[in-house]
Structure 1
Amino acid sequence: MADARRFARQRRDAQREFELQPVRSRAWRWGVALAWTVAAASAGAGLAAWALHAGDAGQCPAVEPDVLQTRLSNVELALEQERAERSALQKAADAAQAETAKLQAELVFMRNHGARSNAR
């Protein structure tokens, strides 16, 4: 709607171009960004140090190489013994299975032979 006044003041604000001005100074914004960067870096460093320190508890104790070699050779010997026992047990199981199959065949033969003899 038009201004009803006879001599309407012209507003200078309507004639100028406007630019957004930051509320805070550039130095303050850089300071906040730097503070956030320092806070994030220190938090990351603290987390990494904590993770590395927590991992120390799970490490193996320091043992002499000769002791480790002795333990390794003992474990290898026990493993070879277990393999030999399993092999012997498997051979015994195979032999028992073969014997069972042989006895089963003889039993079938005897039943068939005996059934014919009794029928006569």
Structure 2
Amino acid sequence: MKSMEDNELVPVAMQIILHAGDARVKADEALEFAKNADFNSAYASLADSKADIIQAHQSQTKVIQDETRGVTHEPNLLFTHAQDTLMTIASEIRFARRLVELYELILQNGEENK
């Protein structure tokens, strides 16, 4: 079995954290847009957020695929943190999308009742 050096995981972990962090910022922006009834911008920010989280996920997937090919590595705290960050923010994005949809529904129902 080939071994991957710990330091090879560091840039991968940083890419995951970077893209996941960008995704979180864009999901937060989407919620602000929705709060201000700017749903076109909210959905655009959610789309950007999804693109960023996909990039983060692809970085993680490469490491997992390497493992299936027999490339091993020592446990790495930064990579574990990156995976946790990715999973957490992916969940936040799903909830942000639902909240934007709810903001939109509430606003539509409020307009109908006027």
More helix by share: 2
Settle same-fold status: TM greater than 0.5: no
More strand by share: 2
- TM-score by length of structure 2 reads 0.31
- TM-score by length of structure 1 reads 0.29
